Amino acid sequence: MSSVYINSASCISVQDTLNENILQNLSPESSVQMLKAIEPNYKEFIPPAMIRRMSKTVKMSSVASHYALQEAGITQPDAIIVGTGMGCSQDSEKFLKNVIDNNEEFLTPTFFIQSTHNTVSGQIALALQCHAYNFTYVNTSSSLEFSLLDAQLQIKDGEAENILVGSTDEQTGRTMELYCLHNIIKKEKDLPADYLHSTTDGVIWGEGASFFVVGKNKTETSYAKLTDIRIINTLELNETQDFIQDFLKKNNLSDRDIDAVILGFSGAATSDVYYTEAMNIFPASALLYYKHLSGEFNTASGFSTFLACHILKEQQIPEVMMVNGNTKSEVKNILLYNHLAGHDHSLVLLERV
**4-215: what fold?**
Peroxisomal Thiolase; Chain A, domain 1 (3.40.47)
Q: Are 1 and 228 in contact (CB under 8 A)?
A: yes
Beginning with the edge strand found earlier in the chain, give each strand of the sheet holding 79-83 in spatial order. 133-137, 79-83, 162-169, 208-215, 4-12, 224-232, 343-352, 333-340, 260-263, 286-289
CA-nearest of 202, 237, 234, 251 to 346 is: 234
pLDDT digits (tens, 9 = 90+) for 293-303: 999 999 999 99
Q: Are 54 and 168 in contact (CB under 8 A)?
A: no
**For the stretch 177-215, what's the b/e string if a residue is b when 16 or more beta carbons lie within 10 angstroms of its beta carbon?**
eebbeeebbbeeebbebebeebebbbbbbbbbbbbbbbb
The predicted pLDDT at position 91 comes to 80
State the angle between helix axes of 301-314 and 143-156 in degrees (0 to 180), rounded to the nearest 10. 60
| Average pLDDT over every residue of 123-147 | 96
pLDDT at 43 > cutoff 60: yes
Q: pLDDT exceeding 90 applies to what percent of the chain? A: 86
Give me the chain's average pLDDT, please: 95
Quick check: do 4-215 and 225-352 share a fold?
yes
Instruction: Tell me the C-alpha distance between 85 and 144, whole Å.
Output: 9
State the angle between helix axes of 56-72 and 89-101 in degrees (0 to 180), rounded to the nearest 10. 160
The predicted pLDDT at position 2 comes to 61
The predicted pLDDT at position 263 comes to 98
pLDDT digits (tens, 9 = 90+) for 240-277: 999 999 999 999 999 999 999 999 999 999 999 999 99
pLDDT at 84 > cutoff 90: yes
Q: Which residues contact 100 (CB under 8 A, 6 or more apart)?
A: none
pLDDT at 185 > cutoff 60: yes
| pTM greater than the 0.85 cutoff | yes
Q: Are 10 and 68 in contact (CB under 8 A)?
A: yes
pLDDT at 1 > cutoff 60: no
Name the β-bridge partners of 162: 215
pLDDT bucket at 64, cuts 50 / 70 / 90: very high
pLDDT at 46 > cutoff 70: yes
Architecture of domain 225-352: 3-Layer(aba) Sandwich (3.40)
Q: Are 34 and 204 in contact (CB under 8 A)?
A: yes
pLDDT at 126 > cutoff 80: yes
pLDDT digits (tens, 9 = 90+) for 333-345: 999 999 999 999 9
Q: Which residues contact 353 (CB under 8 A, 6 or more apart)?
A: 5, 218, 222, 223, 224, 225, 312
Instruction: Tell me the C-alpha distance between 269 and 18, whole Å.
Output: 32
Query: Does residue 3 sit in helix, strand or coil?
Result: coil
Task: Enumerate the domain spans of the chain.
Answer: 4-215, 225-352
The predicted pLDDT at position 116 comes to 86
